[in-house]
Chain A
Amino acid sequence: MNAASHIWAGEETETPWRFRLQEMAWRDLVDALKHDDLPFVGLWCDGTDVHALFLPDGQPLAATLALEDGRYPALSPARDISCLYERRIYDLYGAEGMWATDVRPLLDHDVWSSSTPLAEHPGAGGGQKGLIHFQPAEHMPQEGDMADGWGPATGGMEPPLHVALAMQEGRIRAAETVTGYAHRGMELRWRNSRVEDACKLSARVAAGQSVAHQVAFCLAVEDACKEQVGPEIRLLRVALLELERICHHLFLLADMARLAGARLVASGCMGLREKLLQEAAPITGSRLLMDVCVPGGLSLRHATQMGDMCGRLCEVAERDYPALLALWQEYPGLSMQLAGIGKVTADLLERVGLDGPTARAAGWDCDGRRMMPGYEGIWRFTSGRQDGTAEDRAMLLLEEVGESLRMLDEVASRIGLTAGGSVQLSMQDSEGTGMVEGPWGGILYWVRLKEGRVEQVFARNPSSAALLTFEAILPGHQPDDVALLARSLDINAAALDQ
């Protein structure tokens, strides 16, 4: 029996793709997963049940298990990435994953005003005063190691994260990250919120991926309401998603170039990004594309000018993009420096389940746009560098900027003067999912609606898998490379901690 069959054999629920399992069946599922590559999306808790979501053939399939004495069999023995979800569930609800591979705190470092804040009866606060202490992982300080660290306040512009380093002979022997500094309690804020407010929260899970979060949230709400937006709204959303991808990639490339000492290249990337933003912001209403989508439609300042805007963005980029590409490739030492660091192997990607540009630059054919409504006849498969180094990722991002510009050009002619309109949603008590290929990989929302409000949200983004990848590739590098490697994997504490 394969893993999916174990789920289908469970008891049907009000949601056609979610099945309730008994504990023994759940354990069988975990065992089956050890020998089955069923794509795992995530694990979350609602205080009574835990839910595990999978994506066979791109379609949602979820298993639900009632907590027994606040415990459940963990999935981490079968899926490494699940340990981050299990640690999160323990910190927020106090629910314990039995046989979990890692049980250290993830978010709660004894500084919160209450422990297990989302449990029915939250506990007392930790009472830790001063800088947080954390329990090192088993492989951390060993005899002969020098301790070093990076963050959470580096003076840089990235959200806060700490990386503890165990050094030997000037190189990193082992590394572990300490997260939770940017935890804002999104689960609690989403709970019982109005859908419009919940959408605004989604827009602020992680700047730079705001549209992707908004669209995935809106798709999930629309799915729960059994509605679909029309082709015009879909196209306008595609335009926003591609604009966000271009800006995200240019921002990341600029930071990589700056950290690699290529200031001129960094200026080129940021200069092009700024030109695009100056064209786009007056039309969309937001430079970072916050609050541009609402369930059932869009919320743009001048929706009818979006087609024109896409055309103008392509004209602007037509002048600068080829020169930027050439500058990156020819800038002395830049490619060589990046080619020597941050290699991500196919084995590692498979182990942590990371998708998006990191996986594509390591030779994986994975792009959610292939199946996303709205991209028909616009997205096309392209193949580029496949060695998985920081240089391969940079080149892939540059190529993707070019591809996204081409898509904007395509969209411009199709959009015309349409404002998209909107779909009236009738809220019913139900669940839905929505998935989008964000700038750094798949973003998936599961939303449960109740009495016209959002009852609960689970948001999957690539940051968890990126974090495990980051920890795995750090050994062997020099401590000065940490910031550059973090950027080349787009480690984003805001998205991770939520």
Chain B
Amino acid sequence: MGLIRAVFDAAFKQDMRRMKPVGPRWPLLLFHVDTGGCGGCGMELQALRYAPYDMEGAGFGFVTSPRNADVLLITGALTRAMAPVLEAAWQAMPTPKGLIAVGSCALDGGMFPENYTVLGGLERRVSIDLKIPGCPPAPQDVLNGLCSLFGKQAVPPKEAETSAV
């Protein structure tokens, strides 16, 4: 795998003059790639899209093409078959761009360390802008992690309204 150069550009960093404004009007757009886990982290990301987690209100959204993404959000243990797919998604993203790893698998392989088919996470291979550990991390942990990028605090779910129907 060619090494992804993950450098969260200064444009996103706190206290920089070129900081991208965040909030519902300028959401930070995430492209998710599952690189081969059990799918649990992906399920928790899916939960984030709905109440009581106000992901969009906190200034984040998922996109279906890397060309529209600011950030590559990775779950799963990074199989050798998915590594080139990940690289291609990264190359397709416009700069500035960043890399976020969600779940133990994506960080260091978790329950799936390196073997003949798995590279065992990203931690030793690329620089990661935000690491959210857990197997899987709860949606609120993911949201807290995302919000921490901008020094913000996520709204805890109890304060958010749960509307079942």
B50 touches A267 (CB 8 A): yes
Residues of chain A lying within 8 A (CB to CB) of residue B52: 271, 274
Decide: A155 and B64 in contact? CB cutoff 8 A. Answer: yes
Q: Establish whether residues A159 and B34, one from each chain, have CB atoms under 8 Å apart when the complex forms.
A: yes
CA of A113 to CA of B44 in the docked complex: distance in angstroms? 31
Segment touching B, from A202-210, A379-387, A468-476: A202-210
Q: Are A204 and B65 in contact (CB under 8 A)?
A: no
* Interface membership of A49, Cβ < 8 A: no
Cβ B79 vs Cβ A184 within 8 A: yes
B107 within 8 A of A: no
Asked if A180 is at the interface of the complex by the 8 Å CB criterion, the answer is yes
Q: Report the separation of the CA atoms of residues A155 and B64 in the bound assembly, to the nearest whole angstrom.
A: 4
**CB of B147 to closest CB in A, whole Å:** 19
How many angstroms from the CA of A132 to the CA of B84 in the assembled complex? 8
A157 touches which one: B43, B51, B117, B118 (CB < 8 A)? B43
In contact, A207 and B34 (Cβ under 8 angstroms): no
Tell me the minimal C-beta distance from B39 to chain A in angstroms: 4
Could you say which of A130, A188, A200 contacts B115, with CB atoms under 8 Å apart?
Answer: A188
A111 to B85, CA, bound (A): 12
With contact pairs A275-B164, A290-B135 given, residues A183 and B79 touching in the complex (Cβ less than 8 Å): yes
Closest residue of B by beta carbon distance from A208: B43
Tally of contact residues, B, Cβ under 8 A: 51
Contact of A324 with B by CB under 8 A: yes
Q: Is B77 an interface residue (CB 8 A)?
A: yes
Report chain B residues within 8 Å CB of A131: 84-85, 88
Q: Which residue of B lies closest to A291 (CB)?
A: B135
Task: Output the nearest chain B residue to A213 by Cβ-Cβ distance.
Answer: B38
- A112 touching B39, Cβ below 8 Å: no
B116 x A185 contact (CB < 8 A): yes
Which residues of chain A (95-113) have a CB below 8 Å from chain B?
Answer: 107, 109, 111-113
Q: How far is the CA of A59 from the CA of B47 in the complex (A)?
A: 39
Also in contact, A159 and B42, with CB within 8 A (given A117-B116, A180-B81, A181-B79): yes
B162 at the interface (CB under 8 A from A): yes
The residue that B38 contacts in the complex, of A255, A323, A494, with Cβ under 8 A, is A494
A268 within 8 Å of B by Cβ?
Answer: yes
Interface status of A239 (Cβ within 8 A of chain B): no
Contact B38 A324 (CB under 8 A): no
Q: Which residues of B contact A295 (CB under 8 A)?
A: none
Does A141 sit within 8 A of B, measured CB to CB?
no
Q: Whole-angstrom distance from the CB of B115 to the nearest CB of chain A?
A: 5
Q: Is B37 an interface residue (CB 8 A)?
A: yes
**Of the candidates A183, A204, A210, which one forms a contact with B111 in the assembled complex, judged by CB atoms under 8 Å apart?**
A204
Which 3 residue pairs are nearest across A and B when measured between Cβ atoms?
A: A207-B40, A157-B42, A271-B164
